[in-house]
């Protein structure tokens, strides 16, 4: 009789031999074997068989659930479409901002013809518009971060689908854990976080105080 | 000490819109000799061949970031004392500390206003 400890290795060999093998079929075979041989199996062996049957059922359920949520559609249509839309937002806001800046520059050129008092008022207004236009840089960076997150989700979904293909189960099919990098000056990319949300960000006075602490 | 506003200022950012905004804000405080670069590598080339009195740089750019540009500037015999202001959306403590350790002259977080830009430029140039 097969040593239970050998069972995972034998299952692996079978998966390699029959990559198109269906876990449901394995479950059925196990059930049949249990039905006909239960009397000849020890308690440990019967328990192992039950575990394998449960595993087969779990894999089959996971595949059914992935099929039900339309994972293919998410990776092939929804996410690419969302990233395209976000890229379009960046392009449109850039165009609009450039138009606003062009108008400000035109106002700047005529400001010199105004009385000193009016010129000062007008310059103050134009300065505020310039400041406000920097939103395009910040929103662009935030949207780029979102696009990056969506692409990560897309890659993870594709990997999960790959793992649950009928030929799955080969060694190395387990998803790699997300690699977390500590921020370090030796690894400049690790320091790039992009704009912080207001609640998590340092404002200019915090930064001034931090810089002053070096003096 | 009076600040020489006729000096050449190099502004570095990969967002053309941001370059345009900074250029216009500098013009309003009478810095009219402004050159632009779209990343650290282009900036470094201009700095090595030109004569600049101030660099105002973004951080997050490719292929060379603002931090890498700053490190290169500080290692260059001719440029090592050049006033260097970082203007960036990177506002974590680790970013500010890394920039300070690399030798940044001052650090402005985006979004910023014209008054902050003016104040930091005057402070940096007064100590130059």
| Distance from C-alpha of B110 to C-alpha of B124, rounded to nearest angstrom | 18
Cβ B48 vs Cβ B79: under 8 Å:
yes
**What dihedral angle (degrees, nearest 10) is formed by the CA atoms of A39, A44, A47, A48?**
-110
DSSP assignment, residue B77?
Answer: T
- Residue A5: pLDDT over 80: no
CA distance A112 to chain B (A): 12
Establish if B22 belongs to a structural domain: yes
Establish if B1 belongs to a structural domain: no
pLDDT recorded at residue A182: 67
Both tokens assigned to A107: 């106002």
Cβ B37 vs Cβ B51: under 8 Å:
no
DSSP per-residue codes, A119-167:
HHHHHHHHHHHHHHHTHHHHHHHHHHHHHHHHHHHHHHHHHHHHHTSTT
* Residue spans in chain A of domains classed CATH 1.10.287: 71-180
String of b and e for A180-192 (b: at least 16 CB within 10 Å)?
eeebeeeebeebb
pLDDT recorded at residue A60: 83
| Distance from C-alpha of A186 to C-alpha of B122, rounded to nearest angstrom | 32
The domain total for chain B is 1
How does pLDDT run across B59-106, given as a tens digit for each residue? 999 999 999 999 999 999 999 999 999 999 888 899 999 999 999 999
**What dihedral angle (degrees, nearest 10) is formed by the CA atoms of A38, A44, A48, A51?**
100
What is the biggest distance separating any 2 CA atoms in chain A, rounded to whole angstroms? 106
Kindly determine whether residue B90 and residue A188, on different chains, have CB atoms separated by under 8 Å.
no
pLDDT recorded at residue B1: 63
pLDDT, chain B, mean: 94
pLDDT recorded at residue A170: 47
Q: Residue B66 sits in which domain range?
A: 9-126
pLDDT-wise least confident of A39-48, A156-165, A168-177: A168-177
pLDDT-wise least confident of A67-81, A89-103, A164-178, B52-66: A164-178
Kindly determine whether residue A191 and residue B94, on different chains, have CB atoms separated by under 8 Å.
yes
Indicate the pTM of the whole model.
0.69
Among candidates A94, A101, A204 on the partner chain, residue whose Cβ is nearest the Cβ of B116? A204
| Distance from C-alpha of A96 to C-alpha of A103, rounded to nearest angstrom | 11
pLDDT-wise least confident of A70-84, A166-180, B42-56: A166-180
CA distance B49 to chain A (A): 26
Establish if B91 belongs to a structural domain: yes
pLDDT, chain A, mean: 79
CATH number at residue B39: 3.40.50.2300
- Statement: A71-180 belongs to CATH 1.10.10: no
Predicted ipTM of the assembly: 0.83
pLDDT-wise least confident of A40-44, A170-174, B18-22: A170-174
Both tokens assigned to A73: 């559609």
How does pLDDT run across A89-121, given as a tens digit for each residue? 888 898 999 999 999 999 999 998 999 999 999
| Distance from C-alpha of B52 to C-alpha of B59, rounded to nearest angstrom | 19
Among candidates A123, A183, A204 on the partner chain, residue whose Cβ is nearest the Cβ of B94? A183
- Looking at beta carbons, which residues of chain B come within 8 Å of A120? none
């Amino acid at each position: 009789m097969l040593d239970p400890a050998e069972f995972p290795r034998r299952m692996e060999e079978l998966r390699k031999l029959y990559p198109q093998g269906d876990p449901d079929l394995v479950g059925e075979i196990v059930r049949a074997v249990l039905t006909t041989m239960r009397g000849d199996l020890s308690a440990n062996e019967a328990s192992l068989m039950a575990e394998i049957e449960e595993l087969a059922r779990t894999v089959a359920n996971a595949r059914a659930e992935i099929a039900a949520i339309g994972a293919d559609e998410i990776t092939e249509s929804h996410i690419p479409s969302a990233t395209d839309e976000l890229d379009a937002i960046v392009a449109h806001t850039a165009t609009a901002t450039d138009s606003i800046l062009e108008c400000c520059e035109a106002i700047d050129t005529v400001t010199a013809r105004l009385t000193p008092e009016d010129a000062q008022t007008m310059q103050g207004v134009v300065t505020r518009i310039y400041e406000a236009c920097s939103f395009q840089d910040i929103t662009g960076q935030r949207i780029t971060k979102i696009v990056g997150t969506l692409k990560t989700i897309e890659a993870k979904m594709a990997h999960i689908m790959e793992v649950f293909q009928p030929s799955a189960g080969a060694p190395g099919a387990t998803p790699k854990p997300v690699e977390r990098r500590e921020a370090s000056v030796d690894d400049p990319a690790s320091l790039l976080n992009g704009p912080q949300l207001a609640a998590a960000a340092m404002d200019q006075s915090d930064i001034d105080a931090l810089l002053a602490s070096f003096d | 000490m009076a600040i020489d506003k006729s000096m050449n200022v190099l502004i570095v950012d990969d967002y053309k819109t941001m370059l345009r905004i900074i250029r216009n804000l500098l013009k309003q405080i009478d810095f009219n000799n402004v050159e632009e670069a779209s990343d650290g590598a282009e900036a470094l080339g201009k700095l090595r061949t030109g004569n600049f009195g101030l660099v105002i740089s973004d951080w997050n750019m490719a292929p060379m970031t603002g931090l890498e540009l700053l490190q290169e500037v500080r290692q260059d015999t001719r440029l090592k004392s050049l006033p260097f202001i970082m203007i960036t959306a990177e506002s974590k403590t680790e970013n500010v500390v890394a920039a300070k350790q690399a030798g940044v002259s001052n650090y402005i977080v985006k979004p910023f206003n014209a008054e902050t830009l003016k104040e930091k430029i005057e402070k940096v140039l007064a100590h130059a």
